[in-house]
Amino acid sequence: MSDKTQKTSKFTPKQLGIMYIMGAAFFFALMNLFVQTSGDIPVMQKSFFRNIVALAIAIAVIIKDGEKVKFVKGSGKYLFMRSFFGTLGILFNFYAISHLDSISDASILNKLAPFFAIIFSIFLIHEKPDKKEVLCVIVAFCGALFVIRPSFNNFNFMPALIGAISGMFAGFAYTNVRKLGLLGEKSANIVLVFSAFSCITMIPYLIYNYTPMNSVEFWSLMGAGVSAAGGQFCITNAYKSSPAKEISVFDYTQVLFAALLGFIFLGQIPDRLSYVGYAIIIAASVYRWHIGNRS
């Protein structure tokens, strides 16, 4: 959905933010599925393709709108911080996934991002959550623990620390997206700058370490790139539409989408603890929706 469409939408900013962030959750879960089916391609190469497709789509959206790329005055430093810390968040997360004994450990550490987004919003945007909103995020996080069930046996400190930092970087990046939305920066511009920055910083690695791909690996990465583009546009519009404290809890629906996609395409069947987690996440989401519409 473009910025023009958003302005004329019949939905409230809170409702738009929730729908966008749930859309982002689906796209990012789909991206993870494609990344998993792309084989043993180096993570830097996967990251590059994740962003090059998003860059092409962002350029296409700008051309379709028939407008020149013009940035809002005062948005430069926030665009840089969104791009810089967003790229670090991706790389640190991939590093954690590659070096921790359990991929679920890296996933739950990266899911600290909504907490950091709320914390950073207090200082960067002066948006303070109330007790009910904080409780909803904590409850949803506990539900995610039931689903992901990180095993901290034989825990390697440095990869774990890097995984937690990836969540911090992502949370700070999303806070800057919210700030850019308040300044009136266009979604396509934000995705364009972030994608271009990420691709450019990874080119030196690819020049010396590019790994040839077969057709399955190539098209899987293309699918990952398209899904990532959808997720980036949705997450950008989500944090432009509504404060992190009002919508971040719905980011945990990615766990539900991932479980559904895993069952359909990989034959993965959740166990009882996973169902407990689903119930907790859905309950927190419904409650947050309820109190959000009452305020």
Q: pLDDT digit string (tens) for 110-123?
A: 777 777 877 788 88
Rounded CA-CA distance 122/111 in Å is 19
Query: In this model, does residue 169 exceed pLDDT 90?
Result: yes
pLDDT in tens, 93-111: 777 766 665 555 566 677 7
Residue 143 has pLDDT above 90, yes or no: no
Give pairs for 152-159: CB < 8 Å, separation 24+.
Answer: 152/105, 153/101, 154/101, 155/101, 155/105, 156/99, 156/100, 156/101, 159/95, 159/96, 159/99, 159/100, 159/106
Q: Closest Cα to residue 234, out of 262, 254, 218? A: 254
Per-residue pLDDT averaged across 193-207, rounded?
91
pTM of the model: 0.74
* Mean pLDDT for the stretch of residues 149-159: 61
Over residues 211-228, the pLDDT tens digits come to 999 998 899 889 988 988
Per-residue pLDDT at 219:
92
**What's the farthest any 2 CA atoms get from each other in the chain?**
56
H or E element in which residue 14 lies = helix 13-36
pLDDT tens-place string over residues 14-65: 888 889 999 998 998 888 788 778 778 888 888 898 788 878 887 887 788 7
More confident residue, 153 or 165: 165
